[in-house]
Chains A and B, each alone.
Chain A
Amino acid sequence: MVLIFNLMVQGVQMMLVVALAPLLVGVTRKVRARLLRRKGAPLIQPYRDLLRLMRKEVVLAENASWLFRTIPYLVFAATWVAAALVPTFATGLHFSWTADLIAIVALLGSARFFLALAGMDVGTSFGGIGSSREMMIASLAEPAMMLTVFSLALIAGSTQLSTVSAFMASPVVGLRVSLGMALVALVIVALAENARIPVDNPNTHLELTMVHEAMVLEYSGRHLAMIELAGALNLLLYVSLIGCIFVPWGIANRATGENAADYLLAIVLYLAKLGAAGALLAVFEVSIAKMRVFRVPDFLGIALMLALLGTLLLFVTRSL
C-alpha cells in the first residue's frame, strides 16, 4: 500500500512537471507582455505551439546524421529524468535516491552536451556559433553551480535533494549569509542555463549575440517540439530547485502523514510558487538589457565568486 502510494506520488510528480512546464513559459510571456503594455498571447499558447509543431512534418537537412534525429528525444529524456527527481510538491519521492543534486546537475550537463553536438551536426555556421557559445557559458556556469551545491551540502550535511529540502524547512536553519550568497549564485546560473535575458534572448534568433536559438536553428517539426519542451522543463526544474531549497514551506513530506488533503494543498502551493517565479522572472527580464556575449563571463564570474565565498565561509564556520 505504501509502495503504491509512493509510486503514485512519483508518477504524479513526473506527469506534473511535463504538464506544467509549458504553462510556466506561458505565464512568463504573458506577464512580460503586460508589463510592456501589450496584450500578450493566451496562457495556453505554448501548448498550442507544441501541438502544432508535433503535427508538422520534419524538414531535415540533407546531410543530417542519425544522431541529429536521436538527440531531441535524448535531451528531452535526460531533462525529464532530472526534473522528475527534484522535489516539487513532495519530498521523499520513491526514486529520489537515484541521483543526488550533483548527479542532477550532471544529467543536465549530458542534455546540454548532446544539444551542442546537434548544433554542430549539419555543419552550418549558425549552429557552430550557438554550440561554441553555449559551451563557453556552460563551462563557466557549471563550476558556480557546483560550488553552490557544495555550500548547500555543507549546511544540510547531504547532497540528497529531499534531505536538503527537509532540512531547509526545519527551524534550525534561519537566515545565513552563505545561503544568501548561494541564492544569488543559483539565480545567476539559472538565468544562464535557461538562456534568459541578460545572458541570451529566448525570443529571437536573428541577433548577433544569439546562443541557444542559433544552436537549434536546423530543427523543425516534432524534433523542435521536443527541444522546446525540454527547454521549458529545464526552466521548471530550476524554479522547482530554487523553490525546494529556499522556499521549502508547504512541501508535503512523509513525516507529516500521508493524507491526500496535504498533498493537494502542497500542489496548490507549488502552483502559486511557480506563478510567482514566472512573474518575477518576467519583471526581471523587462527591467534589464541583454549583455554583450563577452560580458557574460563577468556576470557568471560574480556567481562563481559568491558561491566560492559562501562555501569558504561554511568551511570556516558552520554557523554563518
Chain B
Amino acid sequence: MGQAMSAVDFAALVAGALLVLGPVAVMAQRWSRISNFVYAAASGLCWILALLGLVVLFGFGAGPELVLPMGLPWLGAHLHVDMLSAFFLLILGLGGGVISIFAIGYGRHEHAPLRVLPFYPPFLGAMALVVLAADAFTFLLCWEVMSLLSWALMLADHCQEATQKAGYVYLTMAGFGTMSLLLAFGLLAGPDGAYGFAAIRTATRSPVMAAVILGLMLLGAGSKAGLVPLHVWLPLAHPAAPSHVSALMSGVMTKIAVYGFIRVTFDLLQALPVWLALAVMVIGGVTAVMGVLLALMQHDLKRLLAYHTVENIGIIFIGLGLAMAFRADGSAAAAALALTAALFHIFNHMAFKSLLFMAAGAVLNATGLRDMEKMGGLIHRMPVTSVVFLVGCVAISALPPFNGFVSEWLTFQAILVSPELSDLGARFTAPAVGGMLALAAALAAACFVKVYGVVFLSRPRSEAAAKAVEVDRFSLTAMAMLATVCLLAGILPGMVLDVLAPVVDSLLGARLPVQANQAWFTTVPITDARSSYNGLLVFLFIVFSASSAAWAVHRYASRQLRRAPAWDCGYPDPSPLTQYSAGGFAQPLRRVLGTNLLAARETVVMPPPGDMSPARLTVHYVDPAWERIYAPIAGMVDAMTTRMNRLQFLTIRRYLTLVFLSLILLLLGLMLWF
C-alpha cells in the first residue's frame, strides 16, 4: 500500500462503508439517535462521492482499474472510475447527499424507522457500485441488489394494500428488467464469457447482434428508468414509498438506469445502424408526451410527480437518440451537442425532481395529505416550502432563467442540426420529435400551474390544509440547497457544460466549445452567429426591470393598498369547493388530447326528478400501456395457469408417462443439436 490512494479506491471504500452502515443500523437499533446518525453518515459519505466525481471530472487521479478478489473466481470484481462514472458519481453524491439531509428531518416522523434505516445506506452504496463496476458480473449483481433494496425501502409502509400491489408490480418489472440485462450482457460477453468491460469494448459484432443487444438494453434499462410502455411501476411505487425514498428513486435511481444505457450504447457498443437511433428518439418522444399527459390527469401529488419523471426520462432519451443518430452518421460535433443536452438534463432532473419530491414529502408531513383536491393556500402556511416548490415548478416546466430550460434549449439546438443527417428517415423523424418535445414542455407548464395553483395558492380545501405548519430546518435546508442548484445551473449553464465536456469527449471524441472563454458567461453550443443564450443576463434583466418598474410605480404613481373580499365578478362564494379543482383545471386538456390518447370519458349521472341525491360526474381514462399490453399478458398468464392446474390432479401413471416423455424430448433435442 505504498502508493497514494486513487479515486477508485476511495469510491470503493465509501461504497463499502455505505453497505456496512445498514447492518450497523440494525445492531444499534436501541440507540435513540440512530436515525439521525445513519442519515447524517450517509449524507457525509455521499458528499465524498460527489467530491470524488468532481475531482475526476477535472482530470485528477482517476486511477487504474481496481480488481477485488470477489465475484466470479476467474474474473474478480473489476471497479473503475472513468469520466462517465465520475459524472454519475457526482449525480448520485449530490442527490443522495441532499436527500439524506432531508431525511434527517423527515426520519423523525417515521413510525417504523427500522423498515427504512437498514436498507437506505446500502441502497446508495449499491447504486455507487453499479456506476463503479467494470465487468458485467459486478454490474448485474449490484444492479439487482439496488433493485431489491429499493423494493424493500418502498415497502416501508407495507400494511397498505396499495403498497403491496405496487411492490408486486415493481418486483415483477425489476425482475423482467434484470433478465433483459442479463441476456444483453450475455450477448455482449460472447461465447467465450469475456465479462470485463475492456474485453467487451474490443470485441466485434454483427449489426444484427448490436441491434438485439440495444433492444434488450432498452427493455432492461428502460424498465428501470421508466420508458413507455415499461413505466407502469413508477406511478405505483413512488406514492407508496416514504418521500425521501421516492426522491432518491425518482431523482437518482432512474439516472443510474440511464447510466447503464449510456454505458452500453456509447461506450461498449461501437457501430449502431441509424434506424436504431431513430427508434430510441421516437420512444423518447412518445414517453415524454404520454408521461406528461398522464401526469395532467392525476390528483395524487406524488403520483403526478412520478409521471413527470416518465416525461423527463423521455426528454433524456430524445437527446440520447439524437446523439446516436449523429454518431452513426459520423458527425461527432453534433453528437456531442445532443449527448451534452441529455447529460445536462440528467443533472437538471436530478436537481428539480428530488426537490419536488422532497417538497411533496414536506407537504405530506405538514398536512397528512397526498390528494391535491384537499389542499390549497399552503403559501400562507408554509412560506419557505412554497418558494422552493415554485423554483422546482418553474425549473421542470423548462422556463428561463432556470436550469430545465437550458437543457431543453440545447436539445432543440441539436434537433436543428439534424438536416445535416444523411439518412432521409432521420430527417423526417427529427422535426416531428422536436414538435413532441415542444408539446411536452408546454403541457408540463400547464401541469405545474395546476399543481402550484391547487396546492399552494387558492383557498384551503380541507381542515388539514388550513392548519398546516412549516416543516423542520433540515428539510428546509435540503430543499433550499437544490433550489439554489436549479437557479445556479440555470443562470451559469456554461460552467456545467464545461464540467460535462470531458465526459462527452471521452465517449465521442468531440466536445462543445469551451464555455468559460465566452464573454459574460454566454452559452454558445455551436457558434455565436448560430445561437446563444445568456441565462445570467436574462436573470439580471428581469430582476432589474421588475424592481425598477415596481420602484417607479410606487414612487411616482400610487402605493395605496386596501384589502377587501375577493371580487369574483360580484358573486364571491364563501365555500372553497367552488374553486377550480385539479380535475377541473385539467378538463380542457383532457378533452382536447385525452379523448383520443387516453380514451378519457366523462359520464354524468343525473338523478331522476324528485330524487334528492346529487348529480355525479365521473371521469374515466386508461393508461394505454395497461390496457393494451399488461392486461392481455396478465389475462394470458391467468388462462394458462388455469389450464395447467389440471396437471396437479393426475394419477401416478400419468406423471410417470410425462417424466418419460420429457426425457425422450430432451434426448431428441440433444441429438438434433449436435
A284 CB–B CB distance under 8 Å: no
Please report which residues of chain B, range 561-601, place their CB below 8 angstroms from some CB of chain A when the two chains form the complex.
Answer: 561-569, 572-573, 576, 578-580, 584-589, 591-592
A45 CB–B CB distance under 8 Å: no
Q: Is the CB of A217 within 8 A of B394?
A: no
Which residues of chain A come closer than 8 Å to B385, judged between CB atoms? none
Q: Is the CB of B592 within 8 A of A80?
A: no
Which residues of chain B come closer than 8 Å to A112, judged between CB atoms? 445
Which residues of chain A come closer than 8 Å to B567, judged between CB atoms? 59, 61, 124, 217-218, 220
Which residues of chain A come closer than 8 Å to B538, judged between CB atoms? 81, 98-99, 103, 107
Contact of B557 among A55, A81, A109, A127 (CB under 8 A): A55
**Least Cβ–Cβ distance between A196 and chain B, in angstroms:** 19
If A58-B562, A119-B453, A132-B587 are given as contacts, then 20 extra A-B residue pairs at C-beta distance below 8 Å, sorted by A number, are: A54-B553, A55-B557, A57-B558, A74-B542, A80-B549, A97-B528, A109-B397, A109-B442, A113-B399, A120-B452, A125-B579, A128-B584, A129-B580, A132-B584, A139-B589, A140-B592, A143-B439, A150-B434, A160-B528, A225-B553
Q: Which stretch of A261-269, A271-279, A311-319 is in the interface?
A: A311-319
Chain A residue nearest to B398 (CB atoms) is: A106
Q: Is the CB of A132 within 8 A of B530?
A: no
Please report which residues of chain B, range 487-527, place their CB below 8 angstroms from some CB of chain A when the two chains form the complex.
Answer: 522
Q: In the complex, A147 Cα to B438 Cα: how many Å?
A: 8
B652 CB–A CB distance under 8 Å: no
Q: Is the CB of B531 within 8 A of A159?
A: yes
Counting from the closest, the 5 A-B pairs by CB-CB distance are A128-B580, A120-B453, A123-B458, A57-B560, A77-B546
Question: Could you jot down 15 A-B contacts, CB within 8 Å?
Answer: A58-B558, A62-B566, A73-B547, A77-B545, A81-B545, A106-B398, A106-B400, A107-B538, A113-B445, A119-B453, A120-B452, A153-B416, A218-B566, A293-B588, A315-B418
Which residues of chain A come closer than 8 Å to B409, judged between CB atoms? 102-103, 106
Q: In the complex, A67 Cα to B458 Cα: how many Å?
A: 11
Q: Is the CB of B446 within 8 A of A136?
A: yes
Binary flags per residue of A82-112, CB closer than 8 Å to B gives 1, else 0: 0010000000000101111011001101101
Contact of B397 among A113, A153, A316 (CB under 8 A): A113
CB-CB under 8 A for A65 and B457, given A57-B560, A124-B566, A136-B588? yes
B412 CB–A CB distance under 8 Å: yes
Q: In the complex, A66 Cα to B377 Cα: how many Å?
A: 12
Which residues of chain A come closer than 8 Å to B438, judged between CB atoms? 142-143, 145-147
Which residues of chain B come closer than 8 Å to A121, judged between CB atoms? 453, 457-458
CB-CB under 8 A for A222 and B558, given A125-B578, A304-B435? yes
Q: Is the CB of A125 within 8 A of B568?
A: yes
A133 CB–B CB distance under 8 Å: yes
B244 CB–A CB distance under 8 Å: no
Contact of B534 among A67, A99, A107 (CB under 8 A): A99
Q: In the complex, A77 Cα to B541 Cα: how many Å?
A: 8
Chain A residue nearest to B430 (CB atoms) is: A315
Contact of B405 among A66, A106, A157 (CB under 8 A): A106
CB-CB under 8 A for A117 and B457, given A132-B580, A294-B592? yes
Contact of A77 among B415, B522, B542, B584 (CB under 8 A): B542
Which residues of chain A come closer than 8 Å to B553, judged between CB atoms? 54, 222, 225-226
Contact of A150 among B416, B529, B572 (CB under 8 A): B416
Q: In the complex, A133 Cα to B576 Cα: how many Å?
A: 20
Which residues of chain B come closer than 8 Å to A116, judged between CB atoms? 449, 453
B interface: dominant SS: helix
Chain A residue nearest to B400 (CB atoms) is: A106
**Least Cβ–Cβ distance between B465 and chain A, in angstroms:** 12
Which residues of chain B come closer than 8 Å to A250, judged between CB atoms? none
A40 CB–B CB distance under 8 Å: no
Q: Is the CB of B563 within 8 A of A60?
A: yes
Chain B residue nearest to A95 (CB atoms) is: B537
CB-CB under 8 A for A125 and B430, given A57-B561, A106-B405, A222-B558? no
Binary flags per residue of A213-257, CB closer than 8 Å to B gives 1, else 0: 000011011100110000000000000000000000000000000
Chain B residue nearest to A158 (CB atoms) is: B530
Q: Is the CB of B442 within 8 A of A58?
A: no
**Least Cβ–Cβ distance between A204 and chain B, in angstroms:** 12
Chain B residue nearest to A67 (CB atoms) is: B379
Q: In the complex, A222 Cα to B558 Cα: how many Å?
A: 7
**Least Cβ–Cβ distance between B434 and chain A, in angstroms:** 6
A270 CB–B CB distance under 8 Å: no
Chain A residue nearest to B402 (CB atoms) is: A110
A259 CB–B CB distance under 8 Å: no
Q: In the complex, A66 Cα to B450 Cα: how many Å?
A: 18
Q: Is the CB of B431 within 8 A of A62?
A: no
Which residues of chain A come closer than 8 Å to B399, judged between CB atoms? 106, 109-110, 113
CB-CB under 8 A for A160 and B549, given A63-B459, A143-B442, A150-B415? no
**Least Cβ–Cβ distance between B388 and chain A, in angstroms:** 13
Q: Is the CB of A222 within 8 A of B557?
A: yes
B interface residues with partner A (beta carbon < 8 Å): 376-377, 379-380, 390, 394, 397-400, 405, 409, 412-413, 415-416, 418-419, 424, 427-428, 430-432, 434-435, 438-439, 441-443, 445-446, 448-450, 452-454, 457-459, 522, 528-534, 537-538, 541-547, 549-550, 553, 557-558, 560-569, 572-573, 576, 578-580, 584-589, 591-592
Contact of B442 among A100, A133, A139, A217 (CB under 8 A): A139
A28 CB–B CB distance under 8 Å: no
Q: Is the CB of B564 within 8 A of A100?
A: no
Which residues of chain A come closer than 8 Å to B522, judged between CB atoms? 97-98
Which residues of chain B come closer than 8 Å to A98, judged between CB atoms? 522, 532-534, 537-538, 541
Q: In the complex, A284 Cα to B563 Cα: how many Å?
A: 41
Which residues of chain A come closer than 8 Å to B439, judged between CB atoms? 139, 142-143
Q: Is the CB of B565 within 8 A of A62?
A: yes
Which residues of chain B come closer than 8 Å to A100, judged between CB atoms? 531-533
Chain A residue nearest to B455 (CB atoms) is: A120
Interface centre among A74, A98, A141, A314 (most CB of B within 10 A): A98
Q: Is the CB of B449 within 8 A of A135?
A: yes
Which residues of chain B come closer than 8 Å to A127, judged between CB atoms? 568, 580
Q: Is the CB of A78 within 8 A of B585?
A: no
Q: In the complex, A138 Cα to B442 Cα: how many Å?
A: 7
Q: Is the CB of B435 within 8 A of A65?
A: no
Which residues of chain B come closer than 8 Å to A206, judged between CB atoms? 569
Which residues of chain B come closer than 8 Å to A84, judged between CB atoms? 541
**Least Cβ–Cβ distance between A30 and chain B, in angstroms:** 26
Q: In the complex, A102 Cα to B558 Cα: how many Å?
A: 36
Chain B residue nearest to A61 (CB atoms) is: B566
Q: In the complex, A287 Cα to B300 Cα: how many Å?
A: 46
Chain B residue nearest to A297 (CB atoms) is: B592
Q: Is the CB of B405 within 8 A of A126?
A: no
A199 CB–B CB distance under 8 Å: no
Q: Is the CB of A138 within 8 A of B446?
A: yes
Q: In the complex, A297 Cα to B552 Cα: how many Å?
A: 40
Which residues of chain A come closer than 8 Å to B543, judged between CB atoms? 77
Which residues of chain B come closer than 8 Å to A124, judged between CB atoms? 566-568, 572-573, 579
Q: In the complex, A306 Cα to B409 Cα: how many Å?
A: 23
Which residues of chain B come closer than 8 Å to A308, judged between CB atoms? 431-432, 435
Q: Is the CB of A315 within 8 A of B449?
A: no
